[in-house]
Structure 1
Amino acid sequence: MKTLVVLFVVYVLRLWRKALELDYGTMKLLFLPHMEAVRWNIGKMKALAVFWMARRQAPAYQQFLRDHHTRSPRLHGLIPDLSSLPIMDKENYVKRYSLGERCLGGKVPGHGIIIDESSGSSGVPTNWVRGTAERRANKRMLEFGLFHLIGPGPYFLINAFALGPWATGINITMSFADLAVMKSLGPDAQKIINTLHSFGPDQHYVIMGYPPFLKQLVDAAPLDWRSYNVTMIYGGEGMSEAMRDYLLAKGIRKVYGSFGASDLELNISSENDFTIALRKAVLSRPELAARLVKYPGATPVIFQFNPADFYLEETAAGELLVTLCRPYYLAPKIRYNIHDRGQVIRFSELKRILADCGLTPDDIAPGYSELPLLLHYGRADMTVAFYGSKIAPADLQEALMSTPALASRVQSFTMFTSEDEAANKSLRICMELAQGQSIADLDAESASPAFFEELQRINQDFRESWRMLPVGQRPELTFYSFQTGPFADSDMRIKQQYIHSEPLSAVPAKAISPRRATTRLVARPSTRRFNLFDL
């Protein structure tokens, strides 16, 4: 009986949702205040309906449940407890079963289907299938999100994500093609600059891309950004507040982030003026950071999400689980682990934390919505363990952008780890200078200590490791000219690989200064072959 009641409630909610999505004004009713618990419970009921559908119609999920000896989750009233359902990820589910087996009906439909793929930055690209209904729903919510963030159009959208079959680029183009003027150029700085020159400063430009490329674009463009009305939307990886401030200081009007995954959905959660202000408050108020932030290192990016659409959980290890609660996804994802480190905070909990620090949400920023927060720390496996500390790419980005001598000169970075014959671990941070920047003009002797001082400020575990390390084993900073050394084969179309392992034979033996962090300058392309692979 409870099953029938839940199905009826979900059916009514689906009709109600479709009615609200007809108009921007009615869509705002989805985010009414004082409805947080209701939204969470709606998400759980919708997730249960997705579970029942997948159990009946998706052969892969049927077998997956049998392998884990799983039955239906228990109901508390009409609210399910999803914690008994097995956790899926790319290894135990996506790679184990064919694309057709993961689809409802056991095969890929013969029409109305888009197949895209992940960038393959962590290995072989994976194919993902998206049906008409889910593309339509995603398109509608992207339109609503854009309107909510930056106001009514018209917009001139420039898609600087990778084009071709890759998930973000192709879905951004399809979603926004009917909304505004759309030009999909991919990460090609010169073509974007030419477009800005051709159409002039009277447009409201929205440029979307990965953070490293957006910075490269701003640095490379021979134009006054202040004379253009440009909003930037980034995705694929996090952005430090130092980088955001850098872009704003150059003349970009607004910078917002969106969190999604090609495995799941493009826009699971997003930044807004409230979350950005909250993150800045965390940076400036240690007592707030101590209460809010769970993991050490760079300050996490803070998003808000709708739990009626995406039910988010944390594992005991702090990894993020995502259940797509919309019933029309062709290949359901239930408690899917994308192996990102995340922290979910309900808005009611946030208000208690703020109150303990003598603050209210209005003190952070007016006009907020009472949606839960996602604090996103980056990939769970994208850290380097170094003498008791864990260093993440986000730490390096924040340290880099906080070092004035480097912020405008460095385009990208990567980390190499290695061990010598005595098992002494070393860490080398490589930085690629931007095009047109000369190593001869870089004051590396002062920039390197300043960078490591910032890194110690950001990552307290690294600060303690630095104090304990013998001078000769401290990390070194290596600078390379544009597109040389480990950056010679870099591809801006895909997300950067920030962590690599370096074989012993590739580590040069050399003297290291006992007084300061080592700085190496490499002015010409290296002929050394690096063994590059993502951890």
Structure 2
Amino acid sequence: MKLETVAEEEQIQTHKPEGIIPGFQRALALFKQASTNVPAYKAFLKSHGVDPGKINTPADFSHVPIVTKENYLKKYPLRDLMWQRRVSDARMISASSGSSGQPFFWPRGNQSVEDSVVILDELLDRTFSTKTKETLCINAFAMGTWIAGTYMNSAMWRLADLGHKIVTITPGITKEEIARELEVLGSSFRQILIMGYPPFVKDVVDYAKTRHLKLARLDIKCLLAGENFSEQWRDYILTRIGKKNQPESTLGMYGTADAGIVGTETPLSIFIRRLSAQDRRLYEALFGNDSILPTLVQYNPELRYVEEVDGKIIFTTDNSLPLIRYEILDEGRVFTPEMVAGKLNKLGLKTPSQLEPFSSYPYITLFGRQDVAATFYALIIYPENIKYGLEISSLQAIVTGKFTITADFDAVTQEQVLNLTVELQQGLKPTPKIEKKVFNAVVGSLEHNNSEYNKLHQEIGKKAEPIVHLLEQGNPDFKPGIKHRWFKR
């Protein structure tokens, strides 16, 4: 995404002298090892005419071809993508959502979990005092083959081994069970850490209110992942859990099936994000003219070497399936600590001294993905999930096949809502009967083609169902003669 309001000189990341860019030496060593010991990567470099021996500086490294799912991961056998073709180096295999048609299976070795432990060890101790407070960790991520639930379970167990007073329970996305755990177990712990997808965590705290649970008495904290959320949404949750004006009680994570945890919100990044929402000058300096407040996280460059290339996030990370200069299609920017400090100083803005411990970490701003139809309750819904429903024979004479889909938040209730707008064939007008037909076909397609949606629908029912809007042909929302955008931000 081009950020036209950001000054031209700020488009280029501030560089330190070559050889001492944080994380580069580790990334370079990983590149050298993979070029020799990962058959697929060795073949990939050869096909692009790259001599690994000539890659020695950050400038050299920036010319190494970017790998993607299409040009690399799907092109080579799984065994060839792994160190010395050893699939047994993996300890677990996680799946991406499969929303695009076929899930990709990601082998995860010990390195993946150890990296997450390093990231969370400091964060949870400094922010939630988990080494001194007995903490009930409620893992409310979806369990099964998807990465978040099992990955975070492994991390919590390792953190407990390292002295964190964390006890984990795994209800998954079942709000009734979570409410029961809060009611029965909550008072036995000094604090509760609920981990989950933002919309589902909201469902949990809203449901707890209907059960007359006094959440403010339980000292609840939240660790969230899967999608962006607004500061208005954060304030809603803080009020519900009795933490008004304590935004650091809810931390977001930037994680992927590809690499696990890449970065996290910190008290400092939250302070800067909230400040930018109030100060348009800072907003434009960090985020340009994007209309949706992006996610702002910090990361450890020794674990995740992150680059910004043409507005896309590129990262290099070690695992049983190593990724070197991998493009995940997330749009965003990378800022050094010096760049952010400079923007704040230029505007006469200061950060509280107690946030200083987090000031040495670089930042990533995330704007989303143009190729994704929508993220809804943290699962990805692609255009194909909808198309298949609209293409059934009984609808072919009724709809054109064009639609737009948006995942919005209701301004009053802060509930996440999936809006689906569908174009009718020429001469037809919207009717409740057509609306019902479209609804049934689309929900059926989502359940059949998206396993995560199917599970979500089973758990939360009507809240997972799209609201269908029908438009007559010729409506400006469906302009002819241009490439159609399935996803409207």
- The normalised TM-score by structure 1 is 0.67
Q: Point out which structure has higher relative CO (alpha carbons under 8 A, 6+ apart).
A: 2
Matches within 5 A, 1:144-155: 144-151=122-129, 152=131, 153-155=133-135
SS state at 1:142 partner: helix
Map 1:216-231 to 2 at 5 A: 216-221=203-208, 222=211, 223-231=213-221
Q: Does 1:175 align with 2:155?
A: yes
2:95 matched to which residue of 1? 117
- 1:357 to partner: Cα distance: 1.0
The answer to which of 285-294 and 138-147 deviates more is 138-147
Cα deviations by residue, 1:248-287 (Å, 9 ceiling, x for unpaired): 011254111011111112x211101111111111110011
Distance 1:363 1:150, change over 3 A: closer
The one-letter code sitting in structure 2 at the alignment partner of 1:114 is M
1:180-203 deviations in Å (ceiling 9; x for gaps): 211111111000011111113342
Q: Is the 8 A contact 1:393 1:498 kept in 2?
A: no
Distance between the aligned counterparts of 2:335 and 2:263, measured in 1?
13
Please give the per-residue CA displacement for 1:313-332, whole angstroms capped at 9, x wherever unaligned.
1221x1111111x4xx2211
Aligned-pair identity in percent equals: 27
What residue is the counterpart of 2:224 in the other structure? Answer: 234
The residue aligned with 2:274 is 280
Alignment partner, residue 323 of structure 1: 316
Question: Does 2:322 match 1:332?
Answer: yes
Distance 1:99 1:137 in 2: 22
Whether 1:107 aligns to 2:86 is: yes
Correspondence for 1:257:
252
* Matched residues, number: 401
C-alpha deviation, 1:211, in angstroms: 0.7
Q: 1:491 to 1:231 in 2, by over 3 A?
A: farther
Distance 2:349 2:29 in 1: 39
Q: Which amino acid aligns with 1:57?
A: N
Match of 2:337 among 337, 347, 371: 347
For residues 329 and 94 of structure 2, what CA distance do their matches in structure 1 show?
A: 21
CA distance in 2 between counterparts of 1:185 and 1:169 reads 10
Is 1:301 aligned with 2:280? no
| Residues 231/342 of structure 1: CA separation in 2 closer, same or farther (3 Å cut) | same
The whole-number CA distance in structure 1 between the counterparts of 2:109 and 2:349 is 45
Distance 1:40 1:393 in 2: 43
Q: Note the C-alpha offset of 1:486.
A: 5.6
Q: CA RMSD in A?
A: 3.8
Q: Which amino acid aligns with 1:51?
A: F
Q: Which residue in the other structure is 1:92 paired with?
A: 71
Structure 2 residue 172 is matched with structure 1 residue 186: yes
Deviation at 1:374, TM superposition (A): 0.7
1:461-488 superposed Cα distances (whole Å, 9 cap, x missing partner): xxxxxxxxxxxxxxxxxx99xx989668
Runs of 5+ consecutive residues of structure 2 not aligned to the other structure: 1-14, 161-165, 244-248, 375-403, 448-452, 478-485
Describe the shift of the 1:74–1:286 C-alpha distance in structure 2 as closer, same or farther (beyond 3 A).
Answer: farther
2:72 is aligned with what amino acid?
A: Y
- Residue 41 of structure 1 deviates from its aligned partner by 2.3
Indicate the residue corresponding to 2:34 in structure 1: 54
Work out the CA distance in 2 between the residues paired with 1:258 and 1:118. 17
Distance 1:501 1:72 in 2: 53
1:184 maps to a residue whose letter is: T
Q: CA deviation at 1:352?
A: 1.6
For 2:418, the equivalent position in structure 1 comes to: 414
| Distance of 2:465 and 2:28 partners within structure 1 | 38
State the AA in 1 paired with 2:145.
Answer: P
Unaligned 5+ residue runs, structure 1? 1-34, 385-390, 423-427, 429-478, 518-532
